[in-house]
Structure 1
Amino acid sequence: MEKQSQQGGSRAYLISIVMVAVLGGLLFGYDTAVISGAEKGLQAFFKGAKDFEYNDFLHGFTSSSALIGCIIGSGLSGLFASRFGRKRSLIFAGICFFLSAWGSMTPETFGLLPYGKPTWTLLVVFNLYRVLGGIGVGMASAICPMYIGEVAPSRIRGMLVSWNQFAIIFGQLVVYFVNFLILGTHANPVYDAAGAIANMADAEWTITTGWRYMFGSEMVPAGLFALLICFVPETPRYLVMVGQDQKALSILSHINGSSEAQTILNDIKATITTKTERLLTYGWMCIFVGIMLSVFQQIVGINAVLYYAPRIFQDMGMQSPMVQTVIMGIVNISFTLVAVFTVEKVGRKPLLIWGSIGMAIGAFGVALTFGNASLSIVTMLSIMVYSASFMFSWGPICWVLIAEIFPNTIRGAAVAIAVAFQWIFNFLVSSTFVPMFNMHLTAGDDFGHWFTYGFYGLMCVLAALFVWRLVPETKGKTLEDMTKLWKNRK
């Protein structure tokens, strides 16, 4: 039985290590979406501060501060992945997740600050913990798909990397449910015309305690990830880069079978003549395509919807915005499965182009109908179309391409740069959404509503044109084929 497994490779072994790696994707989704349920209680908590005014700008920054850490973490991911390996870098990310969840729940840790008293110092400490979690997210977002791409056989690499995006969306769905359950019969604060909390009796628990439980709940998956990642192997391609060929061959044999493992090892060694090459060895277009994939994945505006979903549905007049948010999460995870099971059949480019068109239709639909009470159902359906189209295209496929499009010798640095741009634009989109959405040309008009989603729709159209003209199809190609592809394009 063991001999047969070695000849053909062990599918169970491959799946087990990939499932551990995608836990990093789940934490990515969990950490970035937990703010959607917590941000209103958090806002009301810090509005009670006596030593400073917690305004919309500070709330936008606090809601997005984890993204600063994401930029830092993704920028460091190339250095960490190349110097310390993919596995040890992911262990570090898991520790960051855990400490951030604990600190965000109780930023008064160690009794250095009075518990439950909102102050400027407490706000700074809270944001530092969120930045720490963002560093974990940034590292995991770059290294998890890289890890999966480097251990997966080329024939199923796209599908396995797509499972990372499934885990991201599943993490978001899980935290939507967790936030919903934590909130229970309590309510989020609602403000009257004078800016005072109109439902203080119902919202008091949410303001003092609820948001803490939401952030703290992440300690469970974070601790599990940090523990399990200790038991997975390092990637064969990294091992070859540091001269551990026999260990790489052993892992390749477990995954692909002994008969194929030596061939793969030879291909890896043929493309890794040195540990690294200069970033522009394969031309500027290689790096440009990777960066623009990341930029378009964010500038189409999806994370503004994911981070502020309950607020958006409440502004639409929905009676149960948390319920609508959970429904959207179910739709998102369902359409992510479309990508998982079609990426190796349909290819990367067609899914990106079709998804861009679907997103454009949804975004323009929201722009034209938002604020019209008689068309609220059309608005909600347009948001669902917009979100679902992203989930079977730019959500998973961007990560697939970033994980596989770069040659072996520059992958660590190139992925780090591409993912750093992703988080930079994520921060820009997320932090500008609320002021853009609330813009008015005249008192009470809906200019900000249609302008914001109209802009996102236009970006979706440009994204489709970019993919059609510049992005290469990588379906069925090995990671070693990327070297030849970009050399031919120079």
Structure 2
Amino acid sequence: MSKKGLLILIASVAALGGLLFGYDTGIINGTQYYFSKYFELSAAMKGWVVSSALLGCLVGALIAGPMTTKIGRKLTLIVSALLFTISAAGSGLPSFLPESISLLVTFRVIGGLAIGLASMAAPTYIAEISPKDKRGVLVTFYQLAVVTGFFVVFLATYYIGESYSSEQGKIDEGWRWMFWSELIPCIIFLVLTLFIPKSPRWLLLVGRDEEAKKVLDSLHEGVEADRELAEIKQSLAKERKIEKTNINIFQKGAFAIIIIGSLLSLFQQFTGINAVLYYGGDIFEKALGYTQDDVLAQQILLGAVNFTFTFVAMFTVDKLGRKPLIMIGSFGMLLGFILLGGSLYFEQVGLISLIGVLLFIASFAMSMGPVTWVLLSEMFPNKIRSIAMSIAVAIQWAGNYLVSQSFPIIADSEHNEVVWNKSLPYVIFGICIIILIIFTKKYIIETKGRSLEELEDIWAEKYGEIKS
């Protein structure tokens, strides 16, 4: 196999962590309708079961940085694969045991830990094995794998659901087979990660220079391997110098940038994306009046739109720019919820409602989904990048938890049913999107075509220099 082919293969194996991220996150959409009926869950308890995994995600994301440094990127990926496997195997077990909802929550939290670890380790690993001229394309494998996971799990849950002749069969045991379907990609990921090389950057970080050189030689051409080795060593020397510098993150320049990045992360969740992805079955069945047979089919359409429009972002983010994409996508998301919420409020549910949902998904997939991550990776100055990124990602998971926990409570409330004709959640999300548009226009700086050093100067001019 050529070095280029080997590089693509290894990056694809690491990107399976992203596919499991999407699969594990999306599987709750296909299963929650059925296990909610099986356990006879209240709206609040349903929100807790669905959102409990996000607590694991938060913890996983917080420990991923120290863990990837301590034991390496490869071993962290192996640990995440093991946790994914345990979660997938265990999530179906409560159907064998009486009223063991706490066991399901436990295994969902374990899956969340795996997601948190993979969301940090997989893109980091891919970036560190890639030559700089191919790094952008190869790292997008991860984001593509995430949306692929969403699409594949919707197909899996649809065909598993179709194998049962009655809805009661799905409620009694179908949902556990939906969870167990994840074991297939879990085991593939676990086995393949055993054979990928360790990250050359991590090997240099822990003083294993010869091993790092062998890995780089196996993946890059001779001159490129030597150049990459020298650049990694130079980068590590700079980072060690930064680590020794005591930075006060509450000083004006640093604090302003962290707040802006954190709010961008929070607004990504407050658009309502995960309410739609997690509770799509409820939205189609309760709000839009689809039957359960229709619901699983509609989820495939939802996943296909999400998958397709991620490519739009991949091919336009370096052409149109980050800020224009967010603005275009935000107006599209707002229009989608106006169509959905309006059709519900005026009791004109039908094709227009479905178009509204799909327009929202398409607009998010081409904007706030991938572009938020691009901006977060570019906007923070070197001096505070590590801690600022950790704070922003932690706040994003916290926002995800808040939306996931509160959505079923608001959706099932009497006020939403009687006063708002089931449209209240989409009115709230619409208001958040309007605030996002204003926030983006006023505070987000376009990063396209600008070096990190240029961006540091721009931030310093607006909010003050970050002092050591």
Partner of 1:23: 16
The answer on whether the counterparts of 2:44 and 2:408 sit within 8 Å (CA) in structure 1 is no
The Cα shift of 1:184 comes to: 1.1
2:244 is the counterpart of 1:271: no
Partner of 2:47: 60
| Aligned positions of 1:64-83 closer than 5 A | 64-83=51-70
Tell me the SS of whatever aligns to 1:146.
Answer: helix
Single out whichever of 411-420 and 358-367 deviates more from structure 2: 411-420
Cα distance change of structure 1 residues 215 and 262 upon mapping to structure 2, 3 Å threshold: closer
State the distance in 1 between where 2:410 and 2:339 align.
18
The Cα shift of 1:247 comes to: 4.4
The Cα shift of 1:472 comes to: 4.0
Partner of 2:328: 354
Partner of 1:110: none
| Aligned positions of 1:98-113 closer than 5 A | 98-107=85-94
The Cα shift of 1:161 comes to: 3.0
- What letter corresponds to residue 228 of structure 2 in structure 1? A
Superimposed CA distance per residue, residues 405-447 of structure 1 (whole angstroms, 9 cap, x where no aligned partner): 4466765544333222111111110111112223344873325
State the distance in 1 between where 2:216 and 2:21 align.
28
Superimposed CA distance per residue, residues 195-238 of structure 1 (whole angstroms, 9 cap, x where no aligned partner): xxxxxxx2332122111101111111112212222333344444
Cα distance change of structure 1 residues 233 and 285 upon mapping to structure 2, 3 Å threshold: farther
Q: Give the TM-score of the pair, scaled to structure 2.
A: 0.86
State the distance in 2 between where 1:103 and 1:123 align.
12
2:113 is the counterpart of 1:135: yes
- What letter corresponds to residue 265 of structure 2 in structure 1? S
- What letter corresponds to residue 264 of structure 1 in structure 2? E
State the distance in 1 between where 2:216 and 2:378 align.
18
Cα distance change of structure 1 residues 345 and 172 upon mapping to structure 2, 3 Å threshold: same
| Aligned positions of 1:410-489 closer than 5 A | 411-441=385-415, 444-446=418-420, 449-475=422-448
2:366 is the counterpart of 1:392: yes
Single out whichever of 211-220 and 437-446 deviates more from structure 2: 437-446
The answer on whether the counterparts of 2:416 and 2:424 sit within 8 Å (CA) in structure 1 is no
Superimposed CA distance per residue, residues 3-53 of structure 1 (whole angstroms, 9 cap, x where no aligned partner): xx8xxxx43233222211211111011111111111122112212xxxxxx
Partner of 1:317: 289
State the distance in 2 between where 1:414 and 1:83 align.
20
The Cα shift of 1:97 comes to: 0.4
Cα distance change of structure 1 residues 243 and 284 upon mapping to structure 2, 3 Å threshold: farther
Name the count of aligned residue pairs.
453
Cα distance change of structure 1 residues 321 and 218 upon mapping to structure 2, 3 Å threshold: same
State the distance in 1 between where 2:367 and 2:416 align.
38
Tell me the SS of whatever aligns to 1:283.
Answer: helix
The Cα shift of 1:318 comes to: 2.6
Cα distance change of structure 1 residues 480 and 95 upon mapping to structure 2, 3 Å threshold: farther
The answer on whether the counterparts of 2:339 and 2:356 sit within 8 Å (CA) in structure 1 is yes
Aligned-pair identity in percent equals: 36
The answer on whether the counterparts of 2:341 and 2:424 sit within 8 Å (CA) in structure 1 is yes
Q: Give the TM-score of the pair, scaled to structure 1.
A: 0.83
2:276 is the counterpart of 1:305: yes
The answer on whether the counterparts of 1:90 and 1:139 sit within 8 Å (CA) in structure 2 is yes
- What letter corresponds to residue 66 of structure 1 in structure 2? A
State the distance in 1 between where 2:452 and 2:64 align.
19
The Cα shift of 1:302 comes to: 0.4
Partner of 1:345: 319
- Aligned with 2:300 (options 306, 312, 326): 326
Partner of 2:160: 182
The Cα shift of 1:81 comes to: 2.2
Cα distance change of structure 1 residues 274 and 252 upon mapping to structure 2, 3 Å threshold: farther
